[in-house]
Amino acid sequence: MKKLAVFASGTGSNFEAIADACADGRLDASVVLMVCDKPGAAVVAKAACRGIPSFVFSPKDYPSKEVFETEIVRLLDEAGVDLVCLAGYMRIVGDVLLKAYEGRIINIHPSLLPAFKGAHAVEQAVAYGVKVYGISIHWVNSDLDGGRIIAQRAFEYDGYDPEEVHRIGQKIEHQLYVETISKLIQ
Ligand code: GAR
């Protein structure tokens, strides 16, 4: 059974989708570690109530990204993690983590990459008046949202409400992330 780590910074709905799919057997894997860089984030309680070990930290408590990523790599190694799934982890992965887990880190992004990279993809797309939105899952490399694409799913939306786009997109994210992880670990 493959071991997953999920990294998140916020609500953690993708973390929940992955953890629940592991728990009910849809994914032949287990989430052995949740990593969060925002101590107050809702995902922290979601991991705790599922009994999933977590590493919750404030980047400002560390002298540099190299130092906190060294600690993260130590924990990933200790837990025997096969695949790192970034799920709303709003931080650029640095060299220490990339070198240690290259080819084993994936990310989910709320746009049809390479369009609308970065933190406010949906808002940017709505501002452009986009009619076809989508979700991408890609390998993580040193380019922001720039690694090779693994899976994408598109949906049509003709309106101007970013919240509604987020709602539609997140339902797709939860399914697509579980399906994609399932294919990767087989
Ligand atoms: C997700 O919609 C994910 O696509 C996005 O953050 C959200 C996290 O939601 N990620 C990015 O924008 C990465 N650039 P969640 O905490 O409910 O899973």
Q: Which atom of ligand 1 is nearest to the CA of 120?
A: 12
Residue 51: the pLDDT is: 98
Residue 100: the pLDDT is: 98
CA–CA distance, 179 with 174 (Å, rounded to integer):
9
Backbone phi and psi for residue 29, each to the nearest 5 degrees, phi listed first: -160, 170
CA 67 vs. chain centroid, Å, equals 21
Closest CA to 87 of 33, 154, 127, 159: 33
Q: Which amino acids are annotated catalytic?
A: 109
Q: Count Cα neighbours of 106 within 13 Å in the Cβ-side half-sphere.
A: 22
Which residue is closest in CA terms to ligand 1's atom 17? 13
Give the distance (Å) from ligand 1 centre to CA of residue 24.
23
Residue 77: the pLDDT is: 98
Hey, what domains does the chain have and what are their CATH numbers? 2-185 (3.40.50.170)
Peptide bond into 114 cis (omega under 30): yes
Q: Which residues of the chain have pLDDT under 70?
A: none
Residue 31: the pLDDT is: 98
Residue 152: the pLDDT is: 98
Neighbouring CB atoms inside 10 A of 118's CB total: 11
Q: Which atom of ligand 1 is nearest to the CA of 122?
A: 12
Residue 4: the pLDDT is: 98
Neighbouring CB atoms inside 10 A of 59's CB total: 13
Residue 130: the pLDDT is: 97
Q: Please choose from 108, 153, 175 the residue to mutate so as to test ligand 1's pocket, defined by most ligand atoms within 8 A of CB.
A: 108
Residue 137: the pLDDT is: 98
CA–CA distance, 62 with 60 (Å, rounded to integer):
5
Residue 106: the pLDDT is: 98
Residue 24: the pLDDT is: 97
**What is the model's pTM?**
0.97
Give the distance (Å) from ligand 1 centre to CA of residue 8.
8
